[in-house]
Structure 1
């Protein structure tokens, strides 16, 4: 009996150090409010009730989540292509590669989204327990075959060796899992367990109550025909073996800054919209304010007026928020910018991707991971080779202005910004001539003849 099996190693903790931040941003307004003071501090002198109200009305501008969605979808805007060397036996399995309905294209798309958001993801190539099945023919008749499992970075507890010094790969991998089991006739319950994978072995550990204590004990174990651990890491931004960081981490921090600044702006707007009634030397009696009321003062120095905010701080806050939003758009766009010296995407790819944009490199990493996963799937069934796949990588932008313009186009197409704002942003980036005017362009559009292409 040991509790060490459930303990997260220092290396795994480092791999997970940005997960709480990313999970809160990807969880939207609800998750950010639940995080409370972690990302929205309570200012000195601010009482608890005021802070609770400020937190309750705060809303997230989901720049990080939207950028991850848009960029991770680009490599999958065209179907994943199977090479001619993929065995015919494997091809039908790839239509339901995870035994949960996802085909290879959808599975790798979600792996890419997770790797870009959290910096790391993993593919475990698993095989169901054979039970009483003895021969390969028995397995095929029963439909038992290898399948892919998406492993979230937060489910990784540790691994051995701690650094990649062996060509044979890992000797141990510990994964945290949650399985559903029957709980009576009409319900189920979630059970936490730790899977320990070794070379040709597996173990399942669960927590049990022993007297007044809870301890982790070995629940079941077995051996496999595969003498390696069938796990493939997928990196967002690789730092080393089994170590990575989110490629858009700085965007995540800027999104947090925007969350805080927007809350301050909402607060000052609330204060500014309510003018304060100021009275001077009107006597000791009460004051009635309304359309059918009048206030009289016996003193020549008496005064009654509303005091309102000048609005200077409001405009400064608004400009600061707009600046943050522009910085966030540029941070996302940078992943699409190809390196200097490569003019086109095709030239970049032809140059062995040395000048590829960051997103193209991530797509290449996912492609390599897919190849490794296919090879492990083939090894489970004694196929000599798993073959290769091709992920679409013919994208990229020559400049940051061009890349950010593309993200802006996505925003206007989805109704997130107006056409006029899109026009102004293109002018600001130097893509449109500064001499053009929005009103003139609208008139040209209205007076243009119908598009006859395709008629």
Structure 2
């Protein structure tokens, strides 16, 4: 068997160009430092030791990761609603949809994080091996049932499709998996394998030593299924085609890297500016100088001794640059919440919700609902039910303007500890939401005198 089974398709390879950036930002400061020069290049003529020292103290402003988590959490601020048309047996499955203890609400929340961050994810609706089980009664007795497995970006290697009755359907799907096996009494070994799914069949491939002593991918196991379809559903953030999407917040990711680099520059110049340079002017030859609180300095005639300090102009320019980038990042993240005229919605949505304008995050939520409904139908197919039913997610979070959306995001970023309460007041003043006469420091002091916020009276640690 050739290595083709493990090779990413051209479509996957194209999408994958964005994933290292997204994963590093989602991983925080440690992941960005580990990425090294990929996102924090060395300056021309910068010594390696100096660069490593600069990298070691760089810290990430987590605008991208926190914006992703805030936006992805909005559809799940209220419980996912399982429709009355979902069969009772499947409703029972939703309490532990993945057979790992996660209910459907939590499982869908993980999918939404994938969609907002990388733009793509997938659900495999699988069934455990059923050796010797031939009837539905035997399945029930053995406790066998369909379960869902999430396949995040990087685990789908490629696919083939064909159009049947006007609908694009999967005819082959390749999935990258990691299998864990016990190694001795306490150890564990991780084995990479590729799962190939086709209608009615499955195969797995693993590496093995060939007769020539070389590693090659070879068939490991195979079997048949009762489904004449590939039970996999793609979920999209910003869809570009079947199985293809881009990160909805890609521009925010690039802006966050820009901030990472500018902040490193700012840290470096602050370090330089805080250490004044002692300059001796007008002395010829070697002059010994002892500097200290209890030392006196004797200078040659016409010589001058003074500290040379940074003017601070570059520091202020750097601070303003960081503020500008932070403002742009806030605006970029908020755009997913702004309702857009002419957004693509169905007539049912328009009539039921009284409006045709939808924000990007609402459309993503509706697409995720559709994907979950498809997964429910595959679940029904596995157990012989005619209809899998539908679910509903919370979608009442759109904003009518960018100002309204960014104001809302400001408050949630402050609640997450990313920005200060003073910054919120200043930004709301800039937007005209608060009076320009308000002094932020006075408001914060008055708020402290008002006592703890409502709902926290019983919490002695609560502070304003």
Does TM-score exceed 0.5, indicating one fold?
A: yes
Q: Residues 417 and 277 of structure 1: is their aligned pair in 2 closer, same or farther, counting only changes over 3 Å?
A: same
For the residues of structure 2 that align with 1:349 and 1:92, how far apart are their CA atoms?
32
For the residues of structure 2 that align with 1:49 and 1:439, how far apart are their CA atoms?
42
| Secondary structure class of the residue paired with 2:219 | strand
Structure 1 portions without partners, runs of 5+: none
**2:225 is the alignment partner of 1:224:** yes
Q: Is the 1:168–1:228 contact (alpha carbons within 8 Å) kept by the matching residues of 2?
A: no
State the Cα distance separating 1:436 from its structure 2 match: 3.5
**2:55 is the alignment partner of 1:29:** no
State the Cα distance separating 1:442 from its structure 2 match: 5.8
TM-score normalised according to structure 1 size? 0.93
Q: Residues 417 and 9 of structure 1: is their aligned pair in 2 closer, same or farther, counting only changes over 3 Å?
A: closer
Q: Residues 314 and 373 of structure 1: is their aligned pair in 2 closer, same or farther, counting only changes over 3 Å?
A: same
Give the corresponding residue for 2:271.
270
**Deviations 1:125-166, CA, capped at 9 Å, x for gaps:** 011111111211111111100011000120111111389996
For the residues of structure 2 that align with 1:291 and 1:15, how far apart are their CA atoms?
62
For the residues of structure 2 that align with 1:451 and 1:298, how far apart are their CA atoms?
66
Q: Residues 11 and 165 of structure 1: is their aligned pair in 2 closer, same or farther, counting only changes over 3 Å?
A: farther
For the residues of structure 1 that align with 2:67 and 2:112, how far apart are their CA atoms?
13
The range that moved more, 169-178 or 422-431, is 422-431
For the residues of structure 2 that align with 1:59 and 1:163, how far apart are their CA atoms?
49
Q: Is the 1:11–1:162 contact (alpha carbons within 8 Å) kept by the matching residues of 2?
A: no
Give the corresponding residue for 1:407.
409
Q: Residues 187 and 452 of structure 1: is their aligned pair in 2 closer, same or farther, counting only changes over 3 Å?
A: closer
Q: Is the 2:63–2:418 contact (alpha carbons within 8 Å) kept by the matching residues of 1?
A: no
Q: Is the 1:235–1:362 contact (alpha carbons within 8 Å) kept by the matching residues of 2?
A: yes
Matching of residues 157-196 of structure 1 within 5 Å: 157-161=157-161, 167=167, 169-196=169-196
**Deviations 1:220-248, CA, capped at 9 Å, x for gaps:** 10010000001110001011111100000
**2:93 is the alignment partner of 1:127:** no
Matching of residues 275-294 of structure 1 within 5 Å: 275-282=276-283, 283-294=285-296
**2:375 is the alignment partner of 1:373:** yes
Give the corresponding residue for 2:201.
201
Matching of residues 17-416 of structure 1 within 5 Å: 17-161=17-161, 167=167, 169-210=169-210, 211-282=212-283, 283-300=285-302, 302-340=303-341, 350=352, 354-416=356-418
Q: Is the 2:161–2:168 contact (alpha carbons within 8 Å) kept by the matching residues of 1?
A: no
For the residues of structure 2 that align with 1:74 and 1:434, how far apart are their CA atoms?
31
The range that moved more, 441-450 or 327-336, is 441-450
**Deviations 1:62-119, CA, capped at 9 Å, x for gaps:** 1110000000000000011111110011111100000011100000011011111111
The range that moved more, 223-232 or 204-213, is 204-213
For the residues of structure 1 that align with 2:393 and 2:240, how far apart are their CA atoms?
23
Structure 2 portions without partners, runs of 5+: 344-348, 456-464
**Deviations 1:363-414, CA, capped at 9 Å, x for gaps:** 0010111100000000011100000100010111111111111111123334
| Secondary structure class of the residue paired with 2:339 | coil
Give the corresponding residue for 2:419.
417
State the Cα distance separating 1:212 from its structure 2 match: 2.1
Q: Residues 5 and 450 of structure 1: is their aligned pair in 2 closer, same or farther, counting only changes over 3 Å?
A: closer
Q: Is the 2:162–2:171 contact (alpha carbons within 8 Å) kept by the matching residues of 1?
A: no
Q: Residues 9 and 438 of structure 1: is their aligned pair in 2 closer, same or farther, counting only changes over 3 Å?
A: closer
Q: Residues 450 and 239 of structure 1: is their aligned pair in 2 closer, same or farther, counting only changes over 3 Å?
A: closer
Q: Is the 1:40–1:55 contact (alpha carbons within 8 Å) kept by the matching residues of 2?
A: yes
For the residues of structure 2 that align with 1:436 and 1:25, how far apart are their CA atoms?
36
For the residues of structure 1 that align with 2:43 and 2:104, how far apart are their CA atoms?
49
State the Cα distance separating 1:322 from its structure 2 match: 0.8
**Deviations 1:343-372, CA, capped at 9 Å, x for gaps:** xxxx97846764100110010010111100
The range that moved more, 403-412 or 302-311, is 403-412
**Deviations 1:169-189, CA, capped at 9 Å, x for gaps:** 011000110010121232220
For the residues of structure 1 that align with 2:109 and 2:207, how far apart are their CA atoms?
34
For the residues of structure 2 that align with 1:451 and 1:287, how far apart are their CA atoms?
59
| Secondary structure class of the residue paired with 2:41 | coil
Q: Residues 432 and 13 of structure 1: is their aligned pair in 2 closer, same or farther, counting only changes over 3 Å?
A: same
For the residues of structure 1 that align with 2:339 and 2:291, how far apart are their CA atoms?
65
| Secondary structure class of the residue paired with 1:176 | strand
Q: Residues 166 and 213 of structure 1: is their aligned pair in 2 closer, same or farther, counting only changes over 3 Å?
A: farther
Instruction: Say what the alpha-carbon RMSD is for the aligned residues.
Output: 2.4
